[in-house]
Amino acid sequence: MTDLARSESSDDGFAHFTPREQQVVALIAEGLADKEIAARLGLSTATVRTYLERVFRRHDIRSRTAAVSIWMRAMGPR
């Protein structure tokens, strides 16, 4: 099963992300690296990675791309 299919079957999307996790995923969607996200949010790179690991575990995904895909679907059309 793909990361995306797994997340669709096990979760209702972005509603289960904390506000900080939402910020991190939104910055990933903008193309920022962990180091850039850390600087933008005033966090350490390790903390950014911890937020991502929690997102991956909660949504049973394994990639940044899958996390962004969940976020984009949850945000809906603009």
17: containing domain:
3-75
The domain spanning residue 10 has which CATH number?
A: 1.10.10.10
Confidence of residue 6 (pLDDT cuts 50, 70, 90): very low
**CA atoms within 13 A of residue 44's CA, in its CB half-sphere:** 3
- pTM score, two decimals? 0.76
Query: Is the pLDDT score of 38 beyond 90?
Result: yes
Backbone angles phi, psi at 31, to 5 degrees: 95, 10
Q: Extract the tokens encoding 61.
A: 């995904």
pLDDT, mean over the chain: 83
Number of structural domains the chain divides into = 1
CB count within 10 Å of CB 3 equals: 18
- Are 49 and 38 a contacting pair, CB within 8 Å? no
For residue 15, the model assigns a pLDDT of 61
% of the chain residues with pLDDT over 70: 78
Examine the pLDDT at 24 and tell me if it is beyond 60. Answer: yes
